């Protein structure tokens, strides 16, 4: 989600060591076994180097991680609620862990924004993150979702660099897979944010418009493919945007990222709700899936 510039939203042991350890481990090397020196297992690449080469969208077929939201409650081994009354961009909502604001229904995650007073906030909603539970490196992420609409409604599917505690935004990098202004419900906005400090924050992005209808009418699949030095965005399997490391500097987007799902209400992106905005508003997410190629 976009942020104001003054506001923060957010790689072996050597061969000898490995061989000695193997010989000390009964299951790996026993005295009854042939006494030839075992061939060392090649060092696996760092997580972010797996799937570093760019491949065609269809070649990412190995499911690494997913949530199909088929249970009765949010799987908190995968997601964490971010509960706060204090968000940025002049947003009006408090985010909660209440079942009034987030629940599972019929195999869907439902994030629900409501008009209700909570402490000093006029609206409530929910925001969940995979931070500390699932990092996303190179590969393809698919999110199938149906979005809300209405003036002042701001659904988002996005990512922040997993090192954001050490490299505060925007240095950690931000990838907006999907953002939508509720007053323009047929337009998906995709953006990256980067820079060393908030004072020199930069961004690059695009918009894609549905030919008919809007994103509240039906489910659509929002996808991001990450490879070394390249980002590609897809809507329902069709590419509409890409960025390479030669185009932007600094480029933090080869690092690990975590995912965020939320609805914001009001603020700088689409303004505040008006008399035409009815509540509650829901973002329904069928699944989140992370693929790599073999």
Give the Cα separation of 125 and 95 in Å (integer). Answer: 5
**Where are the domains positioned within the chain?**
50-292
Half-sphere exposure of 18 (CA within 13 A, CB side): 11
Q: Based on C-alpha coordinates, what's the Rg of the chain?
A: 22
Q: What is the pLDDT along the chain (294 residues), one digit of tens a residue?
A: 745 443 434 333 343 343 333 333 333 333 333 334 444 444 444 556 899 999 999 999 999 999 999 999 999 999 999 999 999 999 999 999 999 999 999 999 999 999 999 999 999 999 999 999 999 999 999 999 999 999 999 999 999 999 999 999 999 999 999 999 999 999 999 999 999 999 999 999 999 999 999 999 999 999 999 999 999 999 999 999 999 999 999 999 999 999 999 999 999 999 999 999 999 999 999 999 999 999
The predicted model scores a pTM of 0.85
C-alpha separations of 215 from 85, 150, 236, 267 in Å: 28, 12, 12, 21
Q: Which CATH class is domain 50-292?
A: mainly beta
Cis geometry, peptide bond prior to residue 280 (ω within 30 degrees of 0): yes
Residue 48 is given by DSSP the state: G
User: Catalytic amino acids?
Assistant: 174, 179
């Amino acid at each position: 989600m976009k942020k104001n510039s003054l506001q923060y939203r957010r790689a072996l042991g050597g061969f000898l060591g490995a061989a000695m350890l193997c010989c000390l481990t009964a299951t790996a090397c026993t005295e009854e076994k042939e006494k030839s020196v075992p061939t060392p297992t090649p060092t696996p690449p760092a997580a972010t180097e797996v799937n570093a080469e760019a491949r065609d969208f269809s070649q990412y077929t190995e499911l690494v991680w997913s949530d199909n939201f088929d249970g009765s409650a949010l799987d908190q081994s995968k997601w964490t609620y971010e509960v706060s009354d204090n968000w940025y961009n002049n947003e009006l909502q408090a985010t909660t862990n209440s079942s009034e604001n987030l629940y599972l229904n019929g195999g869907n995650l439902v994030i629900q924004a409501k008009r209700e007073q909570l402490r000093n906030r006029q609206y409530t909603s929910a925001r969940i993150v995979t931070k500390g539970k699932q990092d996303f490196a190179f590969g393809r992420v698919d999110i199938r979702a149906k979005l809300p609409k209405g003036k002042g409604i701001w659904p988002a599917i996005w990512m922040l660099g997993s090192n954001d505690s050490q490299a505060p935004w925007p240095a950690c990098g931000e990838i907006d897979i999907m953002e939508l202004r509720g007053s323009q419900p047929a337009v998906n906005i995709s953006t990256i944010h980067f820079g060393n400090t908030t004072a020199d924050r930069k961004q690059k992005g695009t918009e894609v418009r549905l030919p008919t209808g809007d994103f509240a009418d039906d489910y659509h699949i929002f996808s991001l493919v990450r490879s070394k030095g390249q980002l590609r965005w897809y809507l329902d399997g069709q590419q509409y945007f890409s960025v390479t490391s030669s185009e932007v500097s600094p480029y933090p987007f080869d690092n690990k990222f975590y995912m965020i799902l939320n609805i914001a209400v009001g603020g700088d992106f689409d303004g505040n709700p008006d008399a035409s905005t009815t509540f509650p508003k829901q973002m329904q997410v069928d699944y989140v899936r992370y693929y790599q190629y073999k």
